[in-house]
Amino acid sequence: MRQFAELYERIDSTTSTNEKVNAMADFFQSSTPADSAWALYYLTGRRLKRFISSRSLREWTLELTQVREWLYDECYSSVGDTAECCSLLLDSYDLDQVDRSDTPAYRLALAEWMEDRIKPLAKADEQVQKEAVVEWWTQLDRHGIFILNKLLTGSFRVGVSQSLVARALAKVSKQEVSEIAHRLMGDWEPTPEWYEQLISEEMSSRALSTPYPFYLASPIEKEVEELGEPSEWQAEWKWDGIRAQVIRRGSEVFIWSRGEELITDRFPEIAQAALTLPEGTVVDGEILVMKGNAVLPFAILQKRIGRKALSKAILAEAPAALMAYDLVEFGGVDLRERPMKERREQLESVLGSASNVFHLSPTIHFESWDDLRTLREGSRERAVEGIMLKRLSSPFQAGRKRGDWWKWKIDPLTIDAVLIYAQAGSGRRANLFTDYTFALWDRDKLTPIAKAYSGLSDEEIAKLDNWIRRNTQDKFGPVRSVTPHHVFELAFEGINASPRHKSGVAVRFPRILRWRHDKKIADADKLDTLKAMIDGTNSSEQYDLSTDPALEKA
């Protein structure tokens, strides 16, 4: 456990990616396969279900330390995290003042903690859980208690990406980063046997369901003309759906989301259609709602997301399809290193025999960058997010590798809104008001329309935090009502009518563009202005591929 706690501290105390990679490599090099497997499980963002509630940790900490509830709440409002708040209080009220940095419990292996102590709590009653956890707290110092609390509540997170983890493992195993990244995909159990296979020169078996690492495009931050000759690039619409890989292996079908969630059961029509694909095929694409050649808005797809039971009515209203981008595997052969132009031609051939649930993502005809720029301006009318640009000679890489795949998104919708509520952030921003609620004028009153927490600089956040503390009108738990005074320009990607919202409108991905010091609250936009954007974006209409003259026909 001590090694794992030290690894967390090393990662958490640096912003250098190389330092993080080195910290993980040092841990894997010196740890047992069993400990490495469990560390890897958490480093890659996987989590076991919650064993202990935050409420229970709070109650047990109050009982053990005799801290008053109001004082705990004040401490929590400053820290913003139950696991950390409890560990700090338990450390501060440790009357024994014993050095616990090298106790037998701390020297206990991470795998032993997980297998012999933590996992058995799932079947224990609350009193047994309490006795065990309180006993463990007395055996660990603040750092160990913090890590333990995070594991118990299922909230352990650490600031590394899966690509950094793959780099660290490649450094230890002498394997290619791309190979390690592939092996890490999909479902696996944190066992020593699995870890030893992972870093072995030859992984003896790979699950039939294992997807490939997704290749992610980077946003264009320069003039598109700098990409070179248009003839070297393929352009497609940037579809607004769920990125997925459909796998047909061993007479079975598996559908994975970009977040490495197995979603086969949620899209039975795609799974059924995939049975017509040749054996050993992996298709990369976007799950959309389609009726024939018509693409329906994302709002329709949302009705299916998160549903475990799919009624006949919802299947009829929101039929799912896959807009296929790429062919990653064919005939059991990994095609990622082949040029995209070649993979595309093979994909066209494969989908020719597939069900109409699979659609080849059509390419956009353009002869110059100016042509494409003009077409991009019509993205919103087609209910797409912009344009994807892919170099015809590019391989299918892992992660967000810059240079070959770019996303050229449309400019966001914007509106000027008034700050009316604020709430403290979490983690390192727990002592700052960083989560804001904004409103528009509905006749003579301000109606909330969106929450946003990104877009301001650290200097602006500090300045606004100071102002919020001096201009709070009322408190509602962690939320503060502030004097309407400041106007901010908000950006968002889309808009829909929503009876669930007080304003009657829901915006997608709101964020702060800038603080409008030049405007008074009377200059903020009206709610009617926002509602008018719904019709202006055609967000309730479908887009028919067969009638778009911009598309090249396969």
- Mean pLDDT rounded to a whole number for the chain: 89
Q: Which pair of structure tokens corresponds to residue 190?
A: 């944190």
Within 384-526, residue ranges assigned H as helices are 458-470
CB 89 within 8 Å of CB 72: yes
Q: Do the Cβ atoms of 418 and 487 come closer than 8 Å?
A: yes
Is 301 in a helix, a strand, or coil?
helix
Spatial distance between the Cα atoms of 516 and 458, rounded to a whole number of angstroms: 17
- Give me the pLDDT at residue 353, please: 56
Assigned fold of 2-152: DNA ligase i, domain 1 (1.10.3260)
Task: Tell me which long-range contacts 30-36 makes (C-beta under 8 A, separation of at least 24).
Answer: 30/3, 31/3, 31/110, 32/109, 32/111, 32/192, 33/192, 33/193, 33/195, 33/196, 34/109, 34/110, 34/111, 34/191, 34/192, 34/195, 35/3, 35/4, 35/109, 35/110, 35/111, 36/192, 36/195
Whole-number pLDDT of residue 352: 75
Q: What 3-state class would DSSP assign to 259?
A: coil
CA 12 to the chain's CA centroid: 20
CA distance 421 to 433: 10
Q: Which residue type occupies 230?
A: P
Range 484-523 burial, b when 16+ CB lie within 10 A, else e: eebbbbbbbbbbbeeeeeebbbbbbebebbbbbeeeebee
pLDDT less than 70: residues of the chain: 94-99, 101, 203-206, 306, 353-355, 427-428, 430, 535-541, 553-554
pTM of the model: 0.78
Residues 497 and 304: their CA atoms lie apart, in Å, by: 18
Domain layout of the chain by residue ranges: 2-152, 218-409, 413-536
Show which residues are catalytic.
238
DSSP state of 501: S
pLDDT at position 431 is 78
Long-range contacts of 402-407 (CB under 8 A, 24+ apart): 402/218, 404/340, 405/215, 405/216, 405/217, 405/218, 406/217, 406/218, 406/219, 406/220, 406/227, 407/217, 407/218, 407/219, 407/220, 407/238
Span 237-271, pLDDT tens digits: 999 899 999 999 988 999 999 988 889 999 999 99
State how far the Cα of 32 lies from the Cα of 23, in Å rounded to an integer.
16
Helix (H) or strand (E) holding 255: strand 252-257
Nearest Cα to Cα of residue 170 among 406, 398, 335: 398
pLDDT tens readout for residues 395-451: 999 888 899 999 999 888 999 999 999 998 876 676 789 999 999 999 999 999 999
Architecture of domain 413-536: Beta Barrel (2.40)
Nearest to 216 by CA among 399, 408, 390, 339: 399
pLDDT of residue 205: 44
- Going from the C-alpha of 309 to that of each of 267, 303, 315, 388, the distances in angstroms are 11, 12, 10, 34
Beta strands in 15-104 (DSSP E): none
Please name the CATH architecture into which domain 218-409 falls.
Answer: 2-Layer Sandwich (3.30)
CA triplet 532, 536, 538: central angle to 5 degrees?
120
Q: What is the pLDDT of residue 554?
A: 47
